[in-house]
Structure 1
Amino acid sequence: MPKSVNQKQKLLFLLDYLRQNTDETHTVTTPQIIDHLAANGIRAERKSIYNDIQTLCDYGYDIIRTEGAHAGYRIADRTFELPEVKLLVDLVQSSKFITTKKSRQLIGKLEQLVSKNDAKKLQRQVIVADRNKTSNEKIYYSVDVIHSAIAENRQIRFHYFDWNVRKEMQLRKDGRFYQVSPWLLTWDDENYYLVAYDADAGKMKHYRVDKMLDLSAVNQARCGRTDYEQMDIASYSRKNFGMFAGEETTVQLLCDTSMTGVIIDRFGASVAMRPYDDTHILARAQVAVSPQFFGWLAGLSTHIRVISPDSVVNEYQIFLQEILRSYTDMQ
């Protein structure tokens, strides 16, 4: 049989066909493979298919031949198994910093990692539109610029915005650029943050990446290396609730024993903790005292109480009183 025009692409078409149409419960037969190749302008005989399959196996692909009622071929080795791809889809869906549009694009690409039949299973779990997603479509460009600046030891500058009551972006610092030395990208409280050194303030700060606009690298070397190398980023994230900074203080918390897991989840397994009585534990942790920390405490009702230092106890009481007063004033 004379060779067809696309004969050199035969193995590629065969491999793609196996990837798209086979999995643990689906196989393709030799006639189906021959028909698929023919549809793409490639002539093939049964014997040549056997040889091509063996060539792919010799190269390292795990292609299984099954016998019986469902005799055929299926590809067994994939970079990602279906449960792994489902996990990645869940992460994309739940990530607030990824826009709805980009979420759908990424999920579409993830579907290409599995067979067509398994991709249908992914579609049944895809719910993106109602999630609380960012609207900053340039975040992917921003992340790339930040990574490049870190690799090249360069500073960056950007505008930083808040939302106003008209749901409009309002630039901080009257529209002036921030200029900082980027050191690390981290994930906390469902948001992507840049940890960077602010030379004017003389300390490390963090910034929400989805709130950055007009970001670019600056041809100046980064500063703040000593501060960064002395920084424990895991501890930093645990202390700063929702990445809101405050005065760092060691607090003692009296907790119901049922709150043991909550304390470990928040402050890590190394948190100082001991039994207090039959129904309580005493925990000690360093936190950045802020309204976000107090909000976390309030959400746990009477199950966790601050017992020291007195200054934090007083601040928390004032925090609660002001909330109560705001409701009393409405009457």
Structure 2
Amino acid sequence: MPKGANQKFKLYRLAQIMLECTDEEHYITMPEILKALEAYGITADRKSIYTDLRDLEVLGLEVEGEPMGNRYHYHVVDRPFELPELKLLVDAVQSSKFITEKKSNALIRKLEKLVSKFEARKLQGQVYVSGRIKTMNESIYYTVDAIHHAISTNKKIYFQYYQWNVKKEMELRRGGDWYHISPWGLSWDDENYYLIGFDSGPQQVRHYRVDKMLHIRASEEDREGKSCFKKLNMADYARKSFGMFGGKEETVKILVDNELAGVIMDRFGKDVRLIPVDEKHFTVQVQVHISKQFLGWIFSLGEQVKILSPKEVAGQMEQEAKRLLRQYADGEAE
């Protein structure tokens, strides 16, 4: 049999055919393999394909042949990712506000290549990126990469930080002045990505929305705040900061209705201690950053929760309730 012009690509094309056309539910026969190779300008005989399939297994691609009738049917087994795992990854990408719609679609297309064309259709059936709330900062990939590089090389970073004004215009904070921060980690909270770093000026741990960082560049200065971050648990920091809004850290004692035990554990973890008070209530002590976002979370749980201590925090809750009452008591109905 004459050799095809693309014969040197035979093993690569065979792997491609097996990955694209087979899975646990879809098989391919030897005649179909030969025909698919011919479409790439590659000729082969059955004997050489048997050898090539064994070679693929040595390279890490396991192909299984099963007798069906008078033919063998071949398919790939044990892929790096199972379909349910990829569905989880697709869900994460499409729900992430810090990834633009364009980048989300590009990432999902790459994930689809990890399964057969048949399973890729199942992934496509659950993709709903258009219309979701997404960042408009297309430089997000570069920003994340620059942060990781600065952390690995122990350097500070410079960047500008922006917010949106009422005219829907990008507005630089601090009048466009540069932030000079020591990056120590990245945290994903409430579908947003945050840089957690050390600000040498006030000597404080600060966090910044990654999608609102612009023109990031490396500094020649080494990072500061190492001793501070040795004592800081990143996951714990994110859990204490409601919506990643900062504030003074306090240990707050809360009286909670038993029906909200799941809500408390969802927010603070299963290790939190729930101390029974009576048949209907328990108390819990949690460390949080006191902010309006925390007080708003307490408000949202209604009469089923009450801050017991510290008195200052309970007082802030009272003042916030009075402020809301004043704000709406005198309002005119529309």
Which TM bucket (shorter chain)? Answer: over 0.9
* Structure 2 counterpart of 1:270: 271
Partner in structure 2 of residue 111 of structure 1: 112
Question: Quick one: distance in 2 between partners of 1:324 and 1:139?
Answer: 41
Structure 1 residue 47 corresponds to structure 2 residue 50? no
Q: Give the % identical residues.
A: 49
Amino acid at match of 1:52: D
- Is 1:218 matched up with 2:219? yes
**Cα distance in 1, alignment partners of residues 174 and 219 from structure 2:** 19
Structure 2: which 5+ runs fail to align?
none
What residue in structure 2 maps to residue 16 of structure 1? 16
The match for 1:121 is 122
Shift of 1:219: 1.1
2:149 corresponds to which residue?
148
* Local SS of the residue matching 1:236: helix
- How do 1:41-80 and structure 2 match up within 5 A? 41-68=41-68, 71-80=72-81
Give the letter aligned to residue 65 of structure 2: R
1:141-220 to structure 2, matched below 5 A, reads: 141-220=142-221
CA positional deviation for 1:247: 1.4
- The 1-side partners of 2:103 and 2:322 are apart by 43
- Residues 59, 313 of structure 1: CA spacing in aligned structure 2 closer, same or farther, 3 A cutoff? closer
Q: Name whichever of 230-239 and 94-103 sits farther off.
A: 230-239
Q: Is the 8 A contact 1:27 1:71 kept in 2?
A: no
Task: Say which SS state the counterpart of residue 292 (structure 1) adopts.
Answer: helix
**1:67 maps to amino acid:** P
| Structure 1 position 314 matched with structure 2 position 315 | yes
Q: Please name the residue that 1:249 is paired with.
A: 250
Q: What's the CA shift for 1:71?
A: 4.0
Instruction: Confirm whether residue 289 of structure 1 aligns to residue 290 of structure 2.
Output: yes
Give distance in 2, aligned partners of 1:141 and 1:244: 25
| Structure 1 gap segments, 5+ residues each | none
- Alpha-carbon distance change, 22 to 199 in structure 1, aligned in 2, over 3 angstroms: same
What amino acid is aligned across from residue 141 of structure 2 in structure 1? Y
1:273-312: per-residue Cα shift (whole Å, max 9, x none)? 2001000001111111110001111111111111112211
8 Å Cα contact 1:160/1:172 also seen in 2? yes
- How far apart in 1 are the matches of 2:76 and 2:222? 50
TM-score by length of 2: 0.96
Question: What is the CA–CA distance in structure 1 between the aligned matches of 2:282 and 2:52, rounded to whole Å?
Answer: 67
Q: Deviations over 1:216-264 (max 9, x none)?
A: 1111111111111111222212221111111111111000011111112
SS across alignment from 1:272: coil
| 1:62 and 1:77 in contact (8 A); partners too | yes
Shift of 1:270: 2.6
Give the Cα separation in 1 of the matches to 2:310 and 2:105.
49
CA deviation string 1:128-156 (max 9, x = no partner):
11211111111110000000001111110
Matched residue type, 1:303: Q
Amino acid at match of 1:156: I
SS in structure 2 of the partner of residue 78 of structure 1: coil
C-alpha separation between the residues in 1 aligned to 2:197 and 2:16?
44
The SS at the match of 1:183 is strand
Q: Secondary structure, in 3 states, of the residue corresponding to 1:137?
A: coil
What secondary structure is seen at the aligned counterpart in 1 of 2:34? Answer: helix
* Contact 2:185-2:234 at 8 Å conserved across structures: no
Paired with 1:312 and 1:155, the residues of 2 have a C-alpha distance of 36
Tell me the residue number matched to 1:236. Answer: 237
Mapped to 2, the partners of 1:89 and 1:291 lie a distance apart of 33
Letter in 2 for 1:201: P
Q: Which is worse superposed, 236-245 or 275-284?
A: 236-245
CA RMSD of aligned residues (A): 1.3
Give the alignment's TM-score, normalised by structure 1: 0.97
CA gap of 1:59–1:247, structure 2 versus 1, over 3 A, is closer
Q: Provide the C-alpha distance between the structure 2 equivalents of 1:97 and 1:248, rounded to a whole number of angstroms.
A: 27
User: Whole-Å Cα distance in 1 between the matches of residues 37 and 269 of structure 2?
Assistant: 56
CA distance in 2 between counterparts of 1:12 and 1:49 reads 12
Q: Aligned AA for 1:122? A: L
Q: Which residue type is aligned with residue 147 of structure 1?
A: H
Structure 1 outlier segments of 4+, above 4 Å: none
- Inter-CA distance 214–58: structure 2 relative to 1 (3 Å threshold): closer
Partners of 1:247 and 1:329 lie apart in 2 by 32
The amino acid that maps onto 1:8 is K
Contact 2:159 2:180 (8 Å CA) reproduced: yes
Size of the alignment, in residue pairs?
Answer: 331
Secondary structure of the 1:245 match is coil
Residue 134 of structure 2: aligned partner: 133
Q: Secondary structure at the match of 2:28?
A: coil
> Which residue identity lines up with residue 107 of structure 1 in the other structure?
I
